[in-house]
Structure 1
């Protein structure tokens, strides 16, 4: 779907990759509806949009509240006249600990934001999207959604659920006007850690400098390019592309490789 002159909802639009998606879409003459739980973050996004902010509306919402999402979806359609696209970007990670040391409260929080928040938006907007001449649902999974990462197992499970939800939707919506894409970002420089209420364990000296992390701006541009090509899978970043290939060729070896990389973090 070509995004120009479309109206697209972006969750997590108050920071990180969500903010960069909002700003990049505005430059493409998109009418953007940005959702986030952080009002201050949304205000900053609107400020950064500058003159383009006339094409931006912001809404504070907790996407884990099903009733609030359903009510807001009705209002968004009424206020905008129509919605053409939904980018489910909002997400959080878990503390860098093993499942055995993770509380059920934290497990529920990750699943509620990453999976159920995504599902609530889809269920609330899909009936309307099916009435549009063309529409697109984009769900952001993760490299951790197809590759096990020790210390992020529940996060990975939530993103794997998003992956299969998206692929199932693609199959169910084949032959309709609604396109569906799943996005697999690798390492992207965002503030997901602070948004998740976490601090990143310090990497080994020298390794942090050697590892090139994709900027959120670059990641957003890659995603939009994939959307406009109606790609089924949008893999963002060299690391995600390499691990996607390795995991399909030899899942056990790929998992062992990641386990070795994470071992020092989990030993603390």
Structure 2
């Protein structure tokens, strides 16, 4: 039996078709958890769930836009129906901006990044809270970012969204700790995933950010290294950790 206390737990992981989300879903399953794999990418989500099942685990794939409240409700209800509740939620799904400085940020870029990176985790967390409160326990882990700790890691929209995620984590930790619910986040540094940055070649933001990032980052991390931190924060090994933001960045946050 797993020493993490995750054996048999019901877990939702968003953005689990690839990258950090996929690595996290696989690691939760390896620890004995039952995993609902949520993503907009049907093929990737189904492949992750299939891989879990082929190694003897339990998994379901759920596909849809998690910034849509109806989709969120359907995802949560599916997990509850299949697994009897939701004991762990990993709000991992996210997108990058174009590294745009505020003066270059168009409405569409701002609204899309905030909707996916901040509104979707808000909606999903709100939807699982009644189930966690009824059970008297729960763990919620967010994927924040180095950009949530500083102003020199991304554009205006992404930076604001990840600062918002960290604020949400800390507020959740304070509001629900007496009800047995923990909320924490990882703040990844540069990690090898399929996330894309469509930066404008002549734009002001990318020119500034590129110089600052290049001077301060360490090595490129792996999705599995980020997943290990997520699973730790969700596990019994972190039972007294609440409201924390764990930098997983090879020391970038220390520079």
In structure 2, C-alpha distance between the alignment counterparts of 1:29 and 1:126, rounded to whole Å: 23
- Say yes or no: does 1:4 pair with 2:7: yes
Query: Offset at 1:218?
Result: 1.3
> Given the alignment, which residue of 134, 141, 144 partners 1:141?
144
**Does the residue aligned with 1:131 lie in a helix, a strand or coil?**
helix
Does the Cα contact within 8 Å between 2:14 and 2:38 map onto a contact in 1? yes
> Given the alignment, which residue of 68, 71, 75 partners 1:72?
75
Query: Offset at 1:78?
Result: 2.1
- Say yes or no: does 1:215 pair with 2:222: yes
Distance of aligned partners of 1:150 and 1:23 in 2 relative to their CA distance in 1, 3 Å threshold: closer
Could you report, residue by residue, the CA deviation over 1:123-147 in whole angstroms, capped at 9, with x for unpaired residues?
Answer: 1110111112431111121110120
Name 2:63's counterpart in structure 1. Answer: 60
TM-score (norm: length of structure 2): 0.84
TM-score (norm: length of structure 1): 0.80
Name 1:238's counterpart in structure 2. Answer: 250
Could you report, residue by residue, the CA deviation over 1:138-182 in whole angstroms, capped at 9, with x for unpaired residues?
Answer: 112111012002651210100111100110010001211211112
Distance of aligned partners of 1:226 and 1:82 in 2 relative to their CA distance in 1, 3 Å threshold: closer
In structure 2, C-alpha distance between the alignment counterparts of 1:21 and 1:150, rounded to whole Å: 24
Query: Offset at 1:41?
Result: 1.2
In structure 1, C-alpha distance between the alignment counterparts of 2:110 and 2:234, rounded to whole Å: 31
Name 2:232's counterpart in structure 1. Answer: 225
- Where structure 1 has 5 or more consecutive residues not aligned to the other structure, the ranges are 244-268
Does the Cα contact within 8 Å between 2:12 and 2:88 map onto a contact in 1? yes
**Does the residue aligned with 2:62 lie in a helix, a strand or coil?**
strand
Does the Cα contact within 8 Å between 1:219 and 1:237 map onto a contact in 2? no
**Does the residue aligned with 1:3 lie in a helix, a strand or coil?**
coil
In structure 1, C-alpha distance between the alignment counterparts of 2:30 and 2:111, rounded to whole Å: 37
Distance of aligned partners of 1:200 and 1:24 in 2 relative to their CA distance in 1, 3 Å threshold: farther
In structure 2, C-alpha distance between the alignment counterparts of 1:87 and 1:53, rounded to whole Å: 22
Query: Offset at 1:240?
Result: 4.1
Name 1:109's counterpart in structure 2. Answer: 112
Does the Cα contact within 8 Å between 2:186 and 2:229 map onto a contact in 1? no
Alignment root-mean-square deviation, CA: 2.4
Could you report, residue by residue, the CA deviation over 1:9-49 in whole angstroms, capped at 9, with x for unpaired residues?
Answer: 00001010000000111110110011000001112323443
- Where structure 2 has 5 or more consecutive residues not aligned to the other structure, the ranges are none
Query: Offset at 1:53?
Result: 6.0
**Does the residue aligned with 2:55 lie in a helix, a strand or coil?**
helix
Distance of aligned partners of 1:79 and 1:143 in 2 relative to their CA distance in 1, 3 Å threshold: same
Count of aligned positions = 237
In structure 2, C-alpha distance between the alignment counterparts of 1:52 and 1:240, rounded to whole Å: 36
Does the Cα contact within 8 Å between 2:105 and 2:156 map onto a contact in 1? no
